Amino acid sequence: MSEQLNELEQQLGYYFNDRNHLRRALTCESAINERHSDAADENSKALA
C-alpha cells in the first residue's frame, strides 16, 4: 500500500506529513459510500 500512496501523492502533487490522514481519508466510511453513490449515478445515466 505504501507504493500506492507514493503514486497517489505524486499524482496529486501533494505530500502528506502524516500519511495516517491520507489513509483515513481513503478508508473513511463516508468516502467509500460517496464513491459507490457516484458509480450508481453513472450507471443510471448510462441506462437513461
Mean pLDDT over each residue of the chain, to the nearest integer: 78
Going by the DSSP 8-state scheme, the letter that residue 13 receives in this structure is T
Question: Residue written as cell 453513472?
Answer: 42
- Integer angstrom CA distances of residue 38 from 23, 29, 42: 20, 14, 6
pTM of the model: 0.53
Taking only the tens place, the pLDDT of each residue in 31-41 is 556 665 555 55
pLDDT band at 14 (very low <50, low <70, confident <90, very high): very high
CA distance 26 to 2: 13
Which residue ranges make up each domain of the chain?
A: 2-47
CA distance 26 to 24: 5
pLDDT at residue 44 above 60?
no
